[in-house]
A and B are shown apart, each in its own frame.
Chain A
Amino acid sequence: ILNVEQSPQSLHVQEGDSTNFTCSFPSSNFYALHWYRWETAKSPEALFVMTLNGDEKKKGRISATLNTKEGYSYLYIKGSQPEDSATYLCASPRAFGNEKLTFGTGTRLTIIP
Chain B
Amino acid sequence: DTEVTQTPKHLVMGMTNKKSLKCEQHMGHRAMYWYKQKAKKPPELMFVYSYEKLSINESVPSRFSPECPNSSLLNLHLHALQPEDSALYLCASSHSSLRGTRNTEAFFGQGTRLTVV
A34 to B104, CA, bound (A): 9
A2, CB-defined interface residue at 8 Å: no
Interface of A, secondary structure class, is loop
The distance from the CB of B49 to the nearest CB of chain A, in whole angstroms, is 10
Give chain B's interface residues, CB within 8 Å of chain A. 4, 31, 33, 40-45, 48, 50, 55-56, 90, 94-97, 101-111
Residue among A4, A46, A105 with the most chain B CB within 10 A? A46
Q: How far is the CA of A101 from the CA of B31 in the complex (A)?
A: 13
| Contact in complex: A46, B43 (CB < 8 Å) | no
Contact of B55 among A49, A99, A105 (CB under 8 A): A99
Name the A residues within 8 Å of B45 (CB-CB): 100-102
| Cβ–Cβ contact A98 & B104, under 8 A | yes
Selected from A42, A46, A99, the residue in CB contact (under 8 A) with B33 is A99
In the bound complex, do residue A98 and residue B94 qualify as a contact, i.e. CB atoms below 8 Å apart?
Answer: yes
Q: Cα distance A103–B37 when bound, in Å? A: 11
Q: What chain A residues lie within 8 Å of B31 (beta carbons)?
A: 98-99
With a CB–CB cut-off of 8 A, which chain B residues contact A36? 105, 108
- Bound together, the chains give a CA A93 to CA B48 distance in angstroms of 13
**Residues of A in contact with B (beta carbons under 8 Å apart):** 4, 31-32, 34, 36, 41-46, 49, 51, 89, 93, 96-106
Residues of A within 8 A of B104 (CB): 49, 98
Complex Cα gap A1–B44 (Å): 18
Cβ–Cβ < 8 Å partners of A49 in chain B: 103-105
Q: Quick one: closest A residue to B3, CB to CB?
A: A43
Assess whether B42 is in contact with A89, with CB atoms less than 8 Å apart: yes
CB contacts (< 8 Å) of A45 on chain B: these are 108
Taking CB atoms, residues of chain A closer than 8 Å to B105 are: 34, 36, 46, 49
A43 vs B43: C-alpha distance in the bound complex, in angstroms? Answer: 12
Residues from chain B with Cβ under 8 Å of A43 in the complex = 4, 107-111
* Least CB separation from B94: chain A residue: A98
**How far apart sit A102 and B41, CA to CA, in the bound complex (Å)?**
12
> Nearest residue in B to A97 (C-beta to C-beta)?
B97
